[in-house]
């Protein structure tokens, strides 16, 4: 682990300490690491450096909207290579919350999330993308891991 020192004026240090306490961080170092990770991820997404990602797409929809549940399920089936899992919760007599866990090419995941959120009757759609490095056996980049005959999968390591 590499160490470095930064200087903050008293006001900024005081505000930062309050921010750290409000979020429950044990120390400044972990808070700074999380801030760095968030900014680096934001930059990766903004500059399209993120090639592969995992993501959580959440949205609320009115299940009385004509054929909407079928359209949403159809979108997931049409993009089964991106969809890992989904969870469905009933909020009231009219509304459902659905959360879909995704993985794949970042641009494809974003297009899928945009398509779901654009469906008539979908509200409060939000996707959280996290860039990952794809690793195979021994940590080799971009390979499929083969641990047993016929058993293959990808290892996904957060990019930072």
Q: Are residues 40 and 65 in the same domain?
A: no
Two structure tokens written together for 131: 């860039």
* pLDDT of 96: 95
Task: Domain count for the chain, please give it.
Answer: 2
Answer yes or no: is 149 within a domain: no
Q: pTM, whole model, 2 decimals?
A: 0.72
Range 120-125 contact pairs with CB under 8 angstroms and sequence separation of 24 or more:
120/65, 120/68, 121/61, 121/62, 121/65, 121/68, 122/59, 122/60, 122/61, 122/68, 122/72, 123/59, 123/60, 123/61, 123/62, 124/58, 124/59, 124/60, 125/57, 125/58, 125/59
Two structure tokens written together for 94: 């009219």
Answer yes or no: is 160 within a domain: no
* pLDDT of 42: 80
Q: Are residues 22 and 71 in the same domain?
A: no
* pLDDT of 136: 60
* pLDDT of 146: 46
The Cα 60–Cα 94 span in angstroms is 10
Two structure tokens written together for 44: 């990766």
Question: Per-residue pLDDT for the chain (160 aa), expressed as one digit of tens each?
Answer: 888 888 999 999 999 999 999 999 999 999 999 898 888 878 877 777 668 899 999 999 998 888 998 999 999 999 999 999 999 999 999 999 999 999 999 999 999 999 999 999 999 999 998 888 777 655 555 544 444 555 566 777 777 7
């Amino acid at each position: 682990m590499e160490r470095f020192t930064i200087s903050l004026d008293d006001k900024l240090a005081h505000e930062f300490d309050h921010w750290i306490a409000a979020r429950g961080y044990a120390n400044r170092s972990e808070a700074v690491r999380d801030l760095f990770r968030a900014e680096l991820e934001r930059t990766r997404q903004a500059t399209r450096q993120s090639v592969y990602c995992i993501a959580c797409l959440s949205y609320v929809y009115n299940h009385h909207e004509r054929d909407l549940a079928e359209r949403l399920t159809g979108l997931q089936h049409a993009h089964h290579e991106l969809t890992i899992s989904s969870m469905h919760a009933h909020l009231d007599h009219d509304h459902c919350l659905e959360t879909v866990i995704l993985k794949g090419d970042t641009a494809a995941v974003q297009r899928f999330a945009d398509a779901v959120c654009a469906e008539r009757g979908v509200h409060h759609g939000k996707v959280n993308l996290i860039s990952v490095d794809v690793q195979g056996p021994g940590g080799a980049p971009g390979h499929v891991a083969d641990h047993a005959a016929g058993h293959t999968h990808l290892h996904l390591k957060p990019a930072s």
